[in-house]
Amino acid sequence: MTAIAAAPSRTRPRGLQRLLATELKLSMREPLLLFWGLAFPVGLLIVLGIAGPKKPQHSLGGVKLIVAYTPIVMVFTLTILALSALPAALASYRDKGYLRRLSTTPIGAVRLLAAQIIINFALAASAVILIALVSHFAFSVALPRQLGGFLLAIVLTMGAMLSLGTLIAAVSPTQRIAAAAGSLLFFPLMFFAGLWVPQAEMGAGLRDVSHYTPLGAAVPAVQNAIAGNWPGTVHLLVLAAYAVVLCALAARLFRWER
């Protein structure tokens, strides 16, 4: 174990790759995460597709129930990952002193944060693709016709929600509080997304309010893109604004140590 001079530039990618692989493995060891982030949304979609009315619904703006709910389930999945998985991992890493431990190594704690965000982004993207495929092949919901608009809407939604998740981790003193804050925010956010009352069935005033919430803007943006139209500019701007503001706040408030 003699000391040998450093050659850091060559090793960085290797370290980050290993970090990503390790974080992915750790995510796969969370059964609750896999259930809520993958099994439950796909199951919900299948139940809605089989048990729900097959005819276009007047109250849903003339579309079938499964068509209205496919984007809602996508957004639901992103939200579970962003508000539950991400803050739980980051807050527990901080509580344990793992972030601090990493900050003594060449990889640094910043890359760990990046790895967590990338992994959750990848998990969310896989879930969205899976949901799109299931609803297409099982219930003949069309694949997004405006693919560019769809991807933009999904990426902005993920940006807004992952920033919100990081912000929760940043301001929560402990892992417990982070978990509580995540689930507390989940219900109002999903309400505006239309999980219980689809936006088409909401009153005009409530619908307007919901369009200024992150998920209330995300659902119509995704719906439009699936239907073949470019998502509404206001919806995209609302999502982008949430992503930028929440991300800046999270970066400002994040504490590496307890």
Partner 1 sequence: MNETLTYTTAQTATDVVVSVDDLHVRYGDTLAVDGVSLSIRRGEIFGILGPNGAGKTTTVEVIGGLRRPDSGSISVLGLDALGDRPQLRQRVGIQLQSSELPDKLRVAEALDLFASFYSDPADPAELLELLGLAGKRDDRFANLSGGQRQRLSIALALVGRPELAILDELTTGLDPQSRRETWRLIEGIRDQGVTVILVTHFMEEAERLCDRVALLHHGHVIAIDTPAALAANAGAGQRISFRPSAELDLAGIRELPEVRAVRRNADRIVVEGSGDLVAAVIGTLVRAGVIPEQTRIEQSTLDDAFVGLTADAAASEVADNTREESR
Write the CA distances from 119 to 23, 67, 116, 228, integer angstroms: 7, 28, 5, 29
- Residue 225 in tokens: 């893109």
Distance separating alpha carbons of residues 127 and 42, to the nearest angstrom: 9
* Distance from C-alpha of 257 to C-alpha of 101, rounded to nearest angstrom: 10
Number of Cβ within a 10 Å radius of residue 56: 13
3-state secondary structure of 57: strand
**Binding of partner 1 at residue 105 (CB under 8 A)?**
yes
Residue 107 interacting with partner 1 (CB under 8 A): yes
Structure token digits, residue 24: 């992915």
Per CB under 8 A, the segment of 55-63, 95-103, 116-124, 244-252 that binds partner 1 is 95-103
> How many other CB atoms are there within 10 angstroms of residue 34's CB atom?
15
- Residue 233 interacts with partner 1 (CB under 8 A): yes or no: no
Interface stretch with partner 1, choices 65-73, 89-97, 165-173, 181-189 (CB under 8 A) = 89-97
Count of all residues that appear for the chain in the document:
258
Q: What angle do CA 178, 182, 184 make, to 5 degrees?
A: 115
Burial classification of residue 214, based on how many CB atoms lie within 10 Å of its CB (0-12 exposed, 13-18 middle, 19 or more buried): buried
Tell which one of 43, 56, 62, 97 touches partner 1 (CB under 8 A).
Answer: 97
Q: Which residue from 103, 177, 206, 232 is in contact with partner 1, where contact means CB under 8 A?
A: 103
Q: State which of residues 51, 55, 58, 104 lies at the interface with partner 1 (CB under 8 A).
A: 104
Which of 11, 59 has the CB closer to partner 1? Answer: 11
Between CA 107 and CA 102 the distance in angstroms is: 7
How near is the Cβ of 45 to partner 1 at its closest, in Å?
Answer: 29
CB nearer to partner 1: give 93 or 192: 93
Least distance in angstroms from the C-beta of 33 to partner 1: 11
The whole-angstrom separation of Cα 146 and Cα 195 is 23
Instruction: Considering only the stretches 6-14, 36-44, 46-54, 204-212, report the one whose residues sit in contact with partner 1 under the rule CB under 8 A.
Output: 6-14
CB of 94 to partner 1, least distance (A): 11
Which span sits near partner 1 by CB under 8 A: 56-64, 104-112, 198-206, 225-233? 104-112
| Number of residues lying near partner 1 (CB under 8 A) | 33
61 binds partner 1 (CB under 8 A): no
Residues within the interface to partner 1 (CB under 8 A): 1-4, 6-8, 10-11, 14-15, 17-19, 22, 25-26, 29-30, 89, 92-93, 96-98, 100-101, 103-108
